[in-house]
Structure 1
Amino acid sequence: MTSSNTFIYDGKCPFCNHFAELLEIKSKITNIKILDGRKNITLIKSLLEKGYDLDKGAILIKDEHIFHGAEAINTICKQINNPSSSLLLLLSRVFKSNKRTKLFFPLLVRARRLALISKGISTSLV
């Protein structure tokens, strides 16, 4: 049985946007749906009510399970095999490790916030 993956990210964040594009085009993950959270506000509000805040990290819905933040990135990176992008290969190798993901993920969240603030874009989606 094939898993179904929905990866939800902040489309205004340049880093998130690039990672999502790489996932969609170069990851070779089958059955993946990529959603820009800013274009899916109803879904974002529903996830926020369940405690999943896109402002604090990407969200991965894999079958019936919801992964958030570092756990979402770690889980999706573990599914990447032989990507056709050297950057995605590097990212997947770094973030396949639970320890490295927990170490580096807070830096990614800060970089996202700085990038959005420098562009005059709200970090909050709802």
Structure 2
Amino acid sequence: MSDAQANTTPTLDTARTYLVYDGDCPACRHYVRFVRFRDAVGVVELINAREANEWVAHLRLQGMPLDDGMVLVYAGRYFHGADAIHQMALLANRSGWFNRATACLFQSRRLTGFLYPILKTLRNALLWTLRRSKIDS
């Protein structure tokens, strides 16, 4: 590992779950606030990518740019974009209408793969409307 990589690697505890998301995106912020998968995984560390440059750089080196989707680190495995949403749906409890709806939509890998590019386009349009830059801009 080079010095540049060492400086961009956040400290990871494999017993913890991390969710790295765009805190400037209202849709992303509300999604991570309302999705209920903490019962299944325990402590979840929510990381606003806008305030965590080391995570952004680390994930970029892993081939997971945050403008392409949030990242879930669960049980030492990385899930990016559609895979992250799908994994959270599998882990989420079904309490409340929001969690039932997202579980229904995203528990299917095929449906998640179809819907995710649409959601990403809507996120980009929302950021543009709000005059907020993308993370890697």
Q: TM-score, normalised by structure 2?
A: 0.81
Percent identity among equivalent residues? 24
Helix, strand or coil: the match of 1:51?
Answer: coil
Higher gyration radius (CA) = 2
Match status 1:66 vs 2:64: no
Q: Which moved more, 1:87-96 or 1:109-118?
A: 87-96
The match for 1:41 among 9, 29, 53 is: 53
Counterpart in the other structure of 2:7: none
Counterpart in the other structure of 2:112: 101
Report the Cα offset of residue 4 of structure 1: 3.1
The match for 1:92 among 103, 107, 110 is: 103
Distance (Å, rounded) in 1 between the aligned partners of 2:76 and 2:17:
10
Distance (Å, rounded) in 1 between the aligned partners of 2:56 and 2:23:
13
Match status 1:14 vs 2:3: no
Q: Which amino acid aligns with 2:79?
A: F
Report the Cα offset of residue 27 of structure 1: 4.1
Helix, strand or coil: the match of 2:47?
Answer: strand
Distance (Å, rounded) in 2 between the aligned partners of 1:102 and 1:43:
24
For structure 2, the residue ranges without an aligned partner over 5 or more in a row are: 1-14
Distance (Å, rounded) in 2 between the aligned partners of 1:87 and 1:5:
21
Q: Which amino acid aligns with 2:21?
A: Y
For structure 1, the residue ranges without an aligned partner over 5 or more in a row are: none
Answer yes or no: is the 8 Å Cα contact 2:49–2:135 preserved in 1. no
The CA RMSD over aligned residues, in Å, is 1.8
Answer yes or no: is the 8 Å Cα contact 1:9–1:54 preserved in 2. yes
Report the Cα offset of residue 122 of structure 1: 0.7
Counterpart in the other structure of 2:4: none
Q: How many pairs are equivalent? A: 122
Distance (Å, rounded) in 1 between the aligned partners of 2:48 and 2:103:
21
Answer yes or no: is the 8 Å Cα contact 2:50–2:135 preserved in 1. no
Answer yes or no: is the 8 Å Cα contact 1:38–1:125 preserved in 2. no
Distance (Å, rounded) in 1 between the aligned partners of 2:16 and 2:78:
12
